[in-house]
Amino acid sequence: MTPSWRKPVGMLGILLLILLWCVAITSLSGVVGGWHWTAQLVFYLFTGLIWITPLKPVLRWMEVGHWR
């Protein structure tokens, strides 16, 4: 069985997604820093988990070659 090019491309895509997500969230730190600590906690918990949502189709594409 020959190695698939989709796995390295998918891994790079996932790393790029994580990098862009981190930059986007940290760029909001000036605004979020003025919030009450409980609001900050909810915001960072939510944004820390929501980036996982687009990974399922990417991982499926890496394995089988199609999105659905």
Burial 34-58 (b: 16+ CB within 10 A, else e): eeeeeeeeeeeeeeeeebeeeeeeb
Residues 6+ apart with CB under 8 A from 29: none
Closest residue by Cα to residue 62 from 20, 17, 11: 11
For residues 39-51, give the mean pLDDT.
94
- Per-residue confidence (pLDDT) for residue 3, from 0 to 100: 67
pTM score: 0.77
Q: Residue 4: which pLDDT band, with cuts at 50, 70 and 90?
A: confident
The string of pLDDT tens digits covering residues 21-44 is 999 999 999 999 999 999 999 999
Task: State in Å, rounded, how far the first CA of the chain is from the last one.
Answer: 23
